[in-house]
Amino acid sequence: MKDRKQSPDAEKAAGQSYIRETIRRKPVNKSKVFRRTVLLIVMAVVFGAIACLTFLLMEPIINGVVNPEKPLKISFPEEEVPVDQFLTEETKAQKEQEDQEQVLQAAREEAAKEIAQQQKAQSEKQAAEKVESGLERYARTYEELSDLARSAQSYLVTVVSSTSAEGWLLGNYEQQESCSGMIVADNSLDYLVLADLSERTGNRYVIRFHDGTSIERPILARDNQTGLAVFAVPKEELSDRTVSSVTRANLGSSVSAYLVGKPVIAVGSPQGIADSVCYGVVNSNSAQYQVTDANYGVLLTDINGSEDASGALIDLDGNVVGFINRGAQDVSSSDGIAALGISDIKNLIAKLSNNEEIVYLGVRGMGVTQDVHNQADIPFGAFVTDVEPSSPAMQAGIQNGDIIVEIGNGSVSSFRELGSQLLTLQASEQPVRLLRYDGTDYREMTVSVMLEAQHD
């Protein structure tokens, strides 16, 4: 029998064997998945909590390194100088009379509204209470003044300066002087203490607060013309008890004409002894303490004080209106206490508190009053009476008799304004516009002055 020949495809199929498999997915263990999910959520919450806690703990440190806390800049509101500073005696008297009439009229209208109630209250008071004697009223007045003086203790301090000395009998010893100062500002980090260091020198200074706390501090900044100096006392170096018991002084105004004749209290060391108190009135606020590059108003009083007097003058509202100063005392021809008007030194206090340099021009002079302007036809401005040798002013060609009307793009109408403008400038080259008399008239000219930083 003849064999049948197979086809090539059949032969190929016969030589191969096929394994067919079906892949099935493993069943999902729902319990295990749930446990893993819960574990993942718990770990996320734990890690998140740790991260938040770490951030809260590290944030102050990181912020302190990246953005260190800076003290606030000290500034005082500008006071508007009254027009009566430049009026004649006749116009001053007329203006004062008009102002007084307006005040009286307003008082009459206010009194008319309440007169019925006041009369009723007064009659009830007289019927119910014993009439107070003159001596009782006198005693009560001084009790109120005493309370006001005691309230100033919260911002008054004692500044003790020590100098190393050597004597033949005593050998090496510490020579100490003290004066009263006051807390004039708070820059959030430090208390700024103002003191008069005129004719007082020391190698070290200790600030003593009213609660007895003492801390040694260097001078932060000092004005060589007035002797005023500022110390910065860090709050972190004081106890919570001291910080909670001190306040800063409320600086009032010394330019008002109505301040003359008003009662004031001298606090600090008006008798040269710490915590002494004196009462009196302001005799004048028109006197001036003339120094290089500035003139400061001086308050003259009828308060008899020591030649070592220091401290402040406060009004009956508790506002500081003057700061007792050796230079101001030299202006007075009597034994009455004299103080720098607080309005005139506010900008200087701010400059010292911010530890900013004070520039030096090198001129002395006076302002042109209304009477001088009318009688001698002299323009308003800072009239130069003396130029210091080798000063920036002399090097720029400024002469005696020149009238400065502008410096550093700031207008000048008096010598006081010249001092105020200089406090806004830094050591640099500045234009000075002035008027110079040529024998027949004043001609305008501009010079360039290289202002220097104040030096000893």
CA-to-CA dists, residue 164 to 176, 208, 349, angstroms: 9, 20, 29
Flag whether pLDDT at 274 surpasses 50.
Answer: yes
The C-alpha angle with vertex 218 and arms to 214 and 222, in degrees rounded to 5, equals 120
CA dist., res. 220 & res. 187, Å (int)? 14
Length of the chain: 456
276 and 311 part of one domain: yes
CATH classification of the domain holding 398 = 2.30.42.10
> Would you say residue 349 lies in a domain?
yes
Cα separation, 421 vs 70, in Å, equals 27
pLDDT value of position 1: 44
The residue-averaged pLDDT of 45-67 equals: 75
- Rounded to an integer, the average pLDDT of 170-181 is 81
Mean pLDDT calculated for residue range 285-303? 93
261 and 349 part of one domain: yes
Q: What is the mean pLDDT of residues 73-98?
A: 64
Per cent of the chain over pLDDT 70 is 82
Averaged over 350-369, what is the pLDDT?
94
CA distance 157 to 246: 10
Pick from 353, 387, 415: which residue ends a domain? 353
The whole-number average pLDDT for the span 319-344 is: 92
Domain containing residue 339: 257-353
pLDDT band at 80 (very low <50, low <70, confident <90, very high): low
Cα–Cα dist 372/374, whole Å: 5
Instruction: Supply 420's token pair.
Output: 């105020």
- Same domain, residue pair 261 and 299: yes
- The pLDDT, as a whole number, for residue 130 is 55
- Confidence grade of residue 203 (pLDDT, cut at 50, 70, 90): confident
| pLDDT computed for residue 2 by the predictor | 46
pLDDT, averaged across the chain? 84
Residue with tokens 């430090």: 190
- From the list 215, 179, 181, the residue with the least C-alpha distance to 195 is 181
Instruction: Give the model's confidence band at 105: pLDDT under 50 very low, under 70 low, under 90 confident, else very high.
Output: confident
Q: What is the pLDDT of residue 238?
A: 95
CATH number, domain of 330, equals 2.40.10.10
Rg of the chain over Cα atoms, rounded to whole angstroms, equals 39
313 neighbors 265 (Cβ within 8 angstroms): yes
- Across residues 269-295, what is the average pLDDT? 93
Number of domains in the chain: 3
Q: Is the pLDDT of residue 413 over 80?
A: yes
Q: Which two tokens stand for residue 410?
A: 């700031």
- Tokens of residue 238, six digits: 């004081």
Report the Cα 169 to chain-centroid distance in Å.
45
Identify whether 289 is part of a domain. Answer: yes
Has residue 415 got a pLDDT over 90? Answer: yes
Exposed / middle / buried, residue 306 (Cβ in 10 Å: 0-12, 13-18, 19+): middle
**Residue 262 pLDDT exceeds 80:** yes
269 with 179: CB under 8 angstroms?
A: yes
Q: Which residue, of 353, 385, 406, is where some domain finishes?
A: 353
* pLDDT of residue 9 exceeding 60: no
3-state secondary structure of 319: coil
Q: Residue 71: is its pLDDT beyond 70?
A: yes
How does residue 189 score in pLDDT terms, banded at 50, 70 and 90? very high
What is the β-pairing status of strands 156-167 and 204-208? antiparallel
Contact at 8 Å (CB) between 332 and 300? yes
Q: How many CB atoms lie within 10 A of CB 85?
A: 16
Last residue of a domain, one of 327, 353, 379: 353
